[in-house]
Amino acid sequence: MHKTKLLPFLEALFAVIVWGASFIATKIAVGQISPIAVVWLRFAMGIPILLFAVIIRKQFAFPKGNEWWYFALLGFLGISFHQWLQSNGLQTAQATTTAWIVSTSPAFIAILGWMILKEKLNLIQSLGIALAMIGVLAVVSKGDLAALTGGKFGTYGDYLILISSVNWAVFSILSRRGLKNHPSTRMTFWVMTIGWLITSVAFFANKSYTEIPLLDSRGWIAMIFLGIFTTGLAYIAWFDALSQLPAAQTGAFLFVEPLTSMVVAAVILNEQITLVSVLGGAVILFGIWMVNRQG
């Protein structure tokens, strides 16, 4: 493979591996400080890296007029609310289960695209969505589908993660308009910055800054990974790859994310890799592939 062709593939792979490992880092961090403190500190570290990338690419520009309100809505949904859901969810949900649930976002995007944007949804895509949901039920119930009727379905955190997956789909649909007028790096910078400022209100109101000294060396490694790698470098690498590869090709890399989570969670958190989670995960990925397949 030619060097110029290899780089975007490596960037996409780097991004999804980092994002896959981010659930484990978040779980470690929320074990030491509150979810609000984790979210605030993470973006405080990552935003300067994105700002640097925007300036280097000569893409810096302030939003105009109503764009401030639009970016504020995206910042609340995609950063403040989304990260709050995932950080709180990971207090009780397993990192592996979280990754599998989050991987269903493309299915919810397809459903919302059909409902709101009147995009077509064919039979294969519909079956893919159904399969992905069955996979989620299998993973969250740990194979005990009878738990559905008994009311003992998953943890409180699993529900929050599922809401975050739907929320991300809403955020993605709403983002499409902005991406027509702004380079993705610039738009991400403003959405993250405004979302971080919204989170700052709760961070300072709750005096969450007093928790930061509670982080031990393991906690700080997790936070630095979340801030610098997950929030900063991975987004830059992902957008670089997106600008050079077809969207469908880049999107296929997202299938690596939950697999990375499963392996890293097993090594670092000693989460068991069960046959149910592997089979359920495979069903989810196959379903999402059916949703995204061309033609």
Token pair recorded at residue 183? 């380079």
d(CA 46, CA 51): 9
pLDDT digit of tens for each residue in the chain (295 aa)? 455 578 888 999 999 999 999 999 999 999 999 999 999 999 999 999 999 999 999 999 999 999 999 999 999 999 999 999 999 999 999 998 999 999 888 889 888 888 887 888 889 989 988 998 888 888 887 766 665 555 555 788 989 999 999 999 999 999 988 888 899 899 999 999 999 999 999 999 999 999 999 999 999 999 999 999 999 999 999 888 887 877 667 777 888 899 899 999 999 999 988 888 889 889 999 988 888 776 5
d(CA 272, CA 96): 9
Look-up of token digits 């989170």: 199
- CB under 8 Å to 236, separation ≥6 — which residues? 49, 50, 53, 185
Could you tell me if 157 and 93 are in contact, meaning their C-beta atoms sit under 8 angstroms apart? yes
Domain positions in the chain are: 3-292
253 sits in the region (left: phi over 0; alpha: psi -120 to 50; else beta) called: alpha
d(CA 223, CA 221): 5
CA dihedral of residues 210, 216, 221, 226 (deg, nearest 10): -30
**H/E element, 36:** helix 35-56
